[in-house]
Amino acid sequence: MTLRQRLNAMALSCLVGISGAALSVATASAQDEPLTSLREAREAAEMRDQTRLSELLDDRQALETALEDAREANQQAQQEQEALAAQRNEQQALQQELDARQAEQGEDFDRILDALARHSTELRESLSGSWINLGETELPPRLDGVDVLEGRHIEQLFDRLMALTAKTATIEKQQAPVADADGVIETRDVIRLGDFAAFTQRDLLERDEGDSTLTVAPRTPPEVADILSAFFQGETRQVAIDPTQGQVLAALAQQPSLLERFHQGGAVGYVVVALGLFGLLVALLQYIYLLGVTLKVRRQRRQLDKLQEDNPLGRVLLRFYSLDNHQAPEALEARLDEAVLAELPRLERGQPIVKLLAAVAPLLGLLGTVTGMIVTFQSITVFGTGDPQLMAGGISQALVTTVLGLVTAVPLLFAQTALAGRSRQLSNIVEGQASATLAEHLESRSPYQPHTVNRDADRAMA
Amino acid sequence: MLIEQWLEPLQRLLEAGGSVLVVLAVLAVVLFSMALERWWYYRVTWRMARRSLVKRWAAREDHRSWSARTLRQVWADELIMRLRRPLPWLKLLVALCPLFGLLGTVTGMITVFDSLTLSETHQARAMADGVARATLPTLTGMAVAVVGLLFISRLEHVIRREDQRLHDRLARAVEDTHA
């Protein structure tokens, strides 16, 4: 009876649902029709539902078959449920067994897997900047996402590692895109030397960490470039490598050239060099003048009877001959000395300034040293002593100015010595010749007359 | 083979001291050869020149007048000047030695600081090379300069003595001829 009641209720609710649907359809279709027609339609639908319900209640046979169907379905579902429960039990047993086994061995395998994953990651990282993966070499596989360790993982890692190791012993020539100093990327021939280096025809290469593009090293020394190009063309078996994986190259790039060193000297350095050049110019001009004077004096001494105004010796002798000859020898000598003395400033011109500059240049270098030291100590005050590179700027200024001062002083000293030597020689000649002429003159006045004096004096001077 | 063995320490010295040592070596060679030349000049040429001057002076008839004394002075000065001529250059070379030594020291210091900047680690080994380069040139420069100074003081002494001796000889020559 209960089943019947339930079925009735089912059928009823079904009908209500249908009538609801019909109602909704009716409302949807009759939206723009008058309300009266809507009510009529609802009433008609209710009437139809009533008739269908009564028909169903009357048809007992149909209800029976439906009930049979439902029973059969129920039985089938129960059978299915039993089968599934059995399967579940089976699987639970399997899981228990597996859990037990894992508890027994799993810890060791986990550890191995962890170590493998860590090592493979580390290897990939450390090899990312290495030269051996320059071509299409495969790196060891990533094992981070793997849950269960399998034999092939270990084998793969091992094989890759062996392949990479073998590759470190090979020299390969291949084509690769290379960025030059201007950033233009071109495909060029590249030779890779094991894990040490790679280079093109003239330049060593470097690569960024993780980035696969190659760049030309900032400063390849010319001798290294020669060796490389010879190796490239197969003329030599000698080759230059950087065993520190790029550190030496970076150091070379940092090392300043001679000109950069000069500029490190700063303002003091410029002043020192400018002063030195000025002193050298003065010395050069004066030395050229002295050379001219020497030539003229030499010509004058060859022809003492034709005195000329264009050289100190000629001027002194002309002055002497223009004097009143009948004076005491001492007075004549005094006059002569005076004439010689008047010639000296022109011969010694420029010497004081060259001497001064030669003395000042090292002093200025010292000044630069002290200012550089001050800069260094200031940077120590600000940044501390932790990083020697921060102090390097001031220190190189300090040292470079000293070098510049010394280097400037050396040629100036040479110039000064040359100037002093020549001017002294000239003044000695003028003085000696003038004295000899005076003596000859006096002797020609005196009672005995050795006329050889002039020639004697000449020989003595020669 | 033997020469190579002998030269090896020298080569190592040059490697340790850098290029300034080469300059100093050249300087020292020039300095010592100039000193040697002076010694040779003093021993051989100078004596001949002095003798001929004394002879010429003795050949003169007049030795006492003012003009004769002036001439004697001129001649003697001329001869002494010839003996003295390379002295300023010797002095220059001696003065250059410590300068170059200092130069080598400073360039060596630059090497030290370069290696400091590059290596970043406070390695004593990295600095040792530069320290040798810094100290050796100063040492060498000082050594050469000291020897050069000895030469110079000796030469000056010789010149002073010879100046007096020349005048003595000239005076004695006159006495001998008049006696």
ipTM value, please give it.
0.80
Q: What is the pLDDT, as a whole number, of residue A452? A: 44
Which chain A residue has the Cα nearest residue B61? A450
Confidence of residue A460 (pLDDT cuts 50, 70, 90): very low
Check pLDDT > 60 for residue A337.
yes
Residue pair B73/A428 in contact by the 8 Å Cβ criterion: no
CA dist B85 and B78 (Å) reads 10
Task: Check B109 against A399: CB less than 8 A apart.
Answer: yes
Q: What is the pLDDT, as a whole number, of residue B71? A: 82
CA dist B129 and B131 (Å) reads 5
Q: What is the pLDDT, as a whole number, of residue A30? A: 47
pTM (predicted TM-score):
0.64
- H helices, E strands: number in chain B: 6, 0
pLDDT tens column, A244-253 = 766 777 777 7
CA dist A186 and A177 (Å) reads 5
CB pairs under 8 A between A and B: 107
Q: Chain A within 8 Å of B80 (Cβ-Cβ)? A: no
Confidence of residue B20 (pLDDT cuts 50, 70, 90): confident
Mean pLDDT, residues B33-53 taken together: 89
What is the edge-to-edge ordering of all strands in the sheet holding A205-207?
A197-199, A185-193, A171-179, A214-216, A205-207
Which residues of chain B neighbour A417 with C-beta distances below 8 Å? 88-89, 91-92
Residue pair A116/A154 in contact by the 8 Å Cβ criterion: yes
Which residues of chain B neighbour A396 with C-beta distances below 8 Å? 110, 113
Percent of chain A at pLDDT exceeding 90: 22
Which residues of chain B neighbour A457 with C-beta distances below 8 Å? 71, 74
Compute chain B's Rg from CA coordinates: 25
Residue A76: CB partners within 8 Å, gap ≥ 6?
Answer: none
pLDDT tens column, A364-384 = 999 998 988 888 888 888 877
Q: Chain A within 8 Å of B25 (Cβ-Cβ)? A: no
Task: Check A362 against B99: CB less than 8 A apart.
Answer: yes
Check pLDDT > 50 for residue A453.
no
Q: Identify the bridge partners of residue A199 per DSSP, sorted by sequence position.
A: A191, A204
Residue pair A161/A120 in contact by the 8 Å Cβ criterion: no
CA dist A35 and A14 (Å) reads 27
Taking the CA of residue A102 and the nearest CA in chain B, the distance in Å comes to 50
CA dist B148 and B36 (Å) reads 11
Q: Which of A389, A413, A442 sits opposite B66 (nearest CB)?
A: A442
pLDDT tens column, A137-194 = 667 777 777 777 777 878 888 888 888 888 888 887 877 778 877 778 888 788 887 7
- Tell me the two tokens of residue B55: 């002879």
Q: What is the pLDDT, as a whole number, of residue A33? A: 62
pLDDT tens column, A383-403 = 777 666 667 667 778 888 999
Q: What is the pLDDT, as a whole number, of residue A90? A: 94
Confidence of residue B67 (pLDDT cuts 50, 70, 90): confident
User: Could you tell me what percentage of chain B is helix, strand and coil, using 3-state DSSP and rounding each to the nearest 5?
Assistant: 90, 0, 10
Tell me the residue type at B120: E
Give CA B32 to chain center in angstroms: 6
Residue pair A270/A262 in contact by the 8 Å Cβ criterion: no
Which chain B residue has the Cα nearest residue A445? B67
Side-chain-facing half-sphere of A436: CA atoms under 13 Å: 26
Q: Chain A within 8 Å of B157 (Cβ-Cβ)? A: no
Which residues of chain A neighbour B61 with C-beta distances below 8 Å? 448, 450
CA dist A370 and A376 (Å) reads 10
Chain mean pLDDT for chain A: 79
Task: Check B88 against A421: CB less than 8 A apart.
Answer: yes
Confidence of residue B119 (pLDDT cuts 50, 70, 90): low
Q: Between the CA atoms of A146, A147, A149 and A152, what dihedral angle is there, to the nearest 10 degrees?
A: -40
Give CA A449 to chain center in angstroms: 89
SS3 assignment, position B155: helix
Q: Chain A within 8 Å of B46 (Cβ-Cβ)? A: no
Q: What is the pLDDT, as a whole number, of residue A22? A: 46
Tell me the residue type at B80: I
Confidence of residue A284 (pLDDT cuts 50, 70, 90): very high
The DSSP output letter for A206 is E
Taking the CA of residue B7 and the nearest CA in chain A, the distance in Å comes to 27
Check pLDDT > 60 for residue A46.
yes
